Each structure stands twice: as structure tokens, then as C-alpha cells.
């Protein structure tokens, strides 16, 4: 089963929890055991699994990547000014694969599936594919 999730960001850098939408697709799949692949269809956004109980961890992650990859100093910035977003997305990756057990995402207590916007605000798409039995 495969479905698209629309995601709209309102900030340049933003974590958006998409766990409920992904879990809804898993439920609709009626798969008891398998894998759920979540894929960002963009080169300046990523899918990450991280804590969502404390919003400061998302802000800390945004700040950490800001320290690691500076803005406005890259060759690609001459094209459209977002090279740092592409570099951060390449470091993080475009997708995550989560096990499915008993028709649920097999996430830890504090884990959430988040869309990490690196060049917003924008309207984006996330592809979710669920396979199994």
C-alpha cells in the first residue's frame, strides 16, 4: 500500500510530527507484520525519528544543524540561496523505515516520525509505503 501525505511548513526550519498520518496509513493497510517506509520527495527536507515529547529537542536539533552547516557560504547559494538546506538534508537522509507489528508502527516510547523542513515555508509531499503480511 502506498499513499502521499501533504505537509505544509510555516517556518524556514521546522519539525512537523507526521506520526498520526503515517500510523493511519499503516492501519488502513491491515498489515500485521512488515515495514513502513516514509520518504521525503524533496532535496531540502528530511524524515527523522526523534523525541517529540519535549519540543526543545526539536529546537536544539535545528540549532545544532545551524552550527554545523552555515548559511550563505556555499557555491549553490549563487543559484537560489538554499545550499545549506540541501547539505543538511543529505546528511540526514530522505527516508526512514519503521517496523510494523500488530498493525502499528513499532516506535519506542518517546519516538515520533517527523518531517524536518530545512527550506520553508513550503508545501511538500511525503510518500508512505507499507509492505508485509
- According to CATH, the topology of domain 2-132 is Jelly Rolls (2.60.120)
> For the chain, which residues make up each domain, given as ranges?
2-132
Q: How far apart, in Å, are the Cα atoms of 84 and each of 58, 64, 95?
A: 18, 13, 19
Name residue 16's beta-bridge partners: 115
Neighbour-count burial for 78-103, b at 16+ CB within 10 Å, e otherwise = eeeebbbbbbbbeebebebebebeeb
Name the phi and psi angles at 14, rounded to 5: -160, 140
Q: How confident is the model at residue 126 (pLDDT cuts 50, 70, 90)?
A: very high
The CB density around residue 25, as the number of other CB atoms within 10 Å, is 19
What pLDDT was estimated at residue 88? 98
Q: What is the pLDDT of residues 32-42, one digit of tens each?
A: 999 999 999 99
What pLDDT was estimated at residue 52? 84
The set of long-range contacts for 60-67, using a CB threshold of 8 Å and a minimum separation of 24, is 61/15, 61/116, 62/13, 62/14, 62/15, 65/13, 65/91, 65/118, 66/13
What pLDDT was estimated at residue 55? 87
> Please, what is the average pLDDT of the chain?
97
Amino acid at each position: 500500500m502506498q499513499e502521499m501525505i501533504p505537509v505544509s511548513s510555516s517556518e524556514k526550519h521546522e519539525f512537523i510530527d507526521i506520526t498520526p498520518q503515517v500510523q493511519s496509513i499503516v492501519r488502513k493497510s491491515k498489515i500485521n507484520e512488515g515495514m513502513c517506509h516514509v520518504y521525503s520527495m524533496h532535496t531540502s527536507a528530511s524524515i527523522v525519528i526523534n523525541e517529540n515529547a519535549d519540543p526543545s529537542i526539536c529546537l536544539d536539533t535545528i540549532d545544532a544543524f545551524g552550527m554545523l552547516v552555515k548559511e550563505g557560504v556555499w557555491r549553490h547559494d549563487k543559484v537560489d540561496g538554499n545550499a545549506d538546506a540541501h547539505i543538511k538534508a543529505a546528511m540526514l537522509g530522505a527516508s526512514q523505515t519503521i517496523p510494523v507489528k500488530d498493525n502499528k508502527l513499532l516506535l519506542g516510547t518517546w519516538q515520533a516520525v517527523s518531517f524536518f523542513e530545512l527550506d520553508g515555508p513550503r508545501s511538500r509531499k511525503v510518500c508512505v509505503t507499507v509492505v508485509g503480511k
